[in-house]
């Protein structure tokens, strides 16, 4: 699975980090980024839910 976060689009709403906290977190500026150990959690079904939950569709999962 490949996860792409479009940081030009992200508005720092934090929905992704709330939905799948093992995979998404927020950087010092509040923008979404992947956790250091996200590779260990790529089977988490909440990743796709986090993508759907993002209000600006900044997360692409394929
Ligand atoms: S839910 Fe979307 S807008 Fe909010 S922090 Fe995550 S990627 Fe950014």
Ligand 1 lined by 51 (C-beta under 6 Å): no
Q: pLDDT under 70 in the chain at which residues?
A: none
Q: Which residues contact 11 (CB under 8 A, 6 or more apart)?
A: 55, 56, 58
- pTM for the full predicted model: 0.95
- State in Å: Cα 49 to ligand 1 middle: 12
Q: What is the pLDDT of residue 32?
A: 98
User: How many distinct helices (H) and strands (E) make up the chain?
Assistant: 2, 4
> Which DSSP letter does residue 8 get?
T
Given 3.30.70.20, 3.40.50.300, 3.40.630.10, 3.40.50.2000, which CATH number is that of 3-56? 3.30.70.20
Where in the chain are the domains?
3-56
Distances (CA, A) of 36 to 24, 25, 40, 41: 9, 9, 9, 11
Ligand 1 lined by 12 (C-beta under 6 Å): yes
């Amino acid at each position: 699975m490949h996860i792409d976060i479009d940081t030009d689009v992200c508005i720092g709403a934090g929905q992704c980090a709330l939905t799948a906290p093992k995979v998404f977190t927020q950087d010092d500026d509040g923008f979404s980024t992947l956790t250091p150990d996200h590779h260990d959690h790529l089977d988490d079904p909440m990743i796709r839910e986090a993508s759907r939950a993002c209000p600006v569709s900044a997360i692409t999962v394929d």
